[in-house]
Amino acid sequence: MFSYLLIMKQDKILLAHGSGGRLSRQLIQELILPHLGNPTLSRLDDAAQLKIKSDRIAFTTDSFVVDPIFFPGGDIGKLAVCGTVNDLAMSGALPKYLSLALILEEGLPLADLERIILSVKHATAEAGVQVVTGDIKVVRRGEAHKIFINTAGIGVIPAGVNISGDKVTVGDKLIVSGNLGEHALAVMANRVGIEFNPALLSDVAPLSDLVADMLNVCPQVHALRDPTRGGLAGTLNELAQAAQVGIMVQEGCIPVTEAVAGACELLGFDPLYLANEGKLLVSVAAADADKLLAQMRRHKYGVQAQIIGEVIAEPKGLVQLKTSIGGTRILDIPAGEQTPRIC
């Protein structure tokens, strides 16, 4: 009874919530399990025990430090689920299980934490994944910034699917699934207090269902990537490096809304370098490209999909952009950081 009153009187995170003692357990019992509980997580064993019906799995991790933690179109909870789900999907895997590890700053309002956990709940439901294991640490005020979340994820790779950056092949077509730049702009504008009308929303979304649709019509896709930090330019360069091929993209084919283009001009950003959290890039044999594009456009997260370029033999490792006015320039990877703490 005493301990119940203790948490009831609190509306903020205390150091003791991370102690492994009574308050840790209460936080888990009263705020985490009611929203995310399932037979595996609710055992609260040191590790989740999982049955796996495949001999090939995908495994990935990401930490999320986005600032602000709530932004137009999403929050750090939705981002933490979608980011890891999408990394699994990019390997062709069907995402199944997530871990959820929270680093909380002393003083974080419990209401904020609950809102984030609810957001995790909704995103996991949409993505068809379960949180099966987790961890909570609390650090003193000023030793972290509100909340950092790490998710790791496990997915099952279907037989016959073999996707990797080094499978990109000369002659491939490159398709992006939709409009670029929305996540980073929505976060940055919100951080500095700029409002757009209509509001500019983050595109954060789980792409596992879109990828499943794509693999249904075209299991032989060569490579999938989600252009997050570093943006499309960073991702194209990663592929060019991994497969030691050249890449030529057409500026005029890259989907960017007028709102994003305008905001980029205002803020001095280049949309090709901005992080996306609900978009993917696919490299596919030219013969399969139209069929795949048509399938992608039938999915709500692929309506704006476009073929943006192709893979060429030379110069190896280099990405070139054919500009709208007919010039060609090298699309280098960013050296620095346009937008810190964007994910």
**Taking the CB of residue 289, how many other CB atoms lie within 10 A of it?**
19
Q: Report yes or no: 197 and 191 within 8 Å, Cβ to Cβ.
A: no
- Asked if residue 212 binds a second copy (CB under 8 A), the reply is no
Residue in 88, 116, 204, 221 binding a second copy, rule: CB under 8 A:
88
324 touching a second copy, by CB under 8 A: no
Least Å distance, CB 235 to a second copy, is: 9
Alpha carbon distance 168, 162 (integer Å): 12
User: Smaller CB distance to a second copy: residue 15 or 31?
Assistant: 15
Sole residue written with tokens 């001095």? 268
Q: In the complex, what is the shortest distance from the CB of residue 16 to a second copy, in angstroms, rounded to a whole number?
A: 4
Shorter beta-carbon distance to a second copy: residue 97 or 301:
97
Minimum CB distance to a second copy, residue 36 (Å): 14
Q: Which residues contact 107 (CB under 8 A, 6 or more apart)?
A: 12, 13, 141
Residue 147 falls in which region: left (phi positive, over 0), alpha (psi -120 to 50) or beta: beta
- Binding residue for a second copy (CB under 8 A) from 173, 183, 222, 229? 229
Q: By CB under 8 A, how many residues form the interface with a second copy?
A: 87
**DSSP-assigned letter for residue 298:** T
CB of 143 to a second copy, least distance (A): 4
List the one residue from 179, 190, 228, 283 that touches a second copy (CB under 8 A): 228
Least Cβ distance, residue 198 to a second copy (angstroms): 29
- Asked if 220 is part of the footprint of a second copy (rule: CB under 8 A), the reply reads no
* Cα 243 to Cα 220, 223, 314, 320, distances in angstroms: 16, 10, 12, 16
CB 145 within 8 Å of CB 105: yes
Residues 275-294 that bind a second copy (CB under 8 A): 275
Residue closer to a second copy (CB basis): 112 or 238: 238
- Give the interface segment with a second copy, choosing from 23-31, 191-199, 291-299, 305-313 (CB under 8 A): 23-31
Rule CB under 8 A: say whether 16 interacts with a second copy.
yes
SS3 readout for 72-129? CCEEHHHHHHHHHHHHHHCCCCEEEEEEEEEEEECCCEHHHHHHHHHHHHHHHHHHCC
According to CB under 8 A, which residues from 93 to 112 bind a second copy? 93, 97, 99-103
**137 near a second copy, judged by CB under 8 A:** yes
Q: Which of residues 24-63 bind a second copy (CB under 8 A)?
A: 24-25, 43-63
Q: How near is the Cβ of 275 to a second copy at its closest, in Å? A: 8
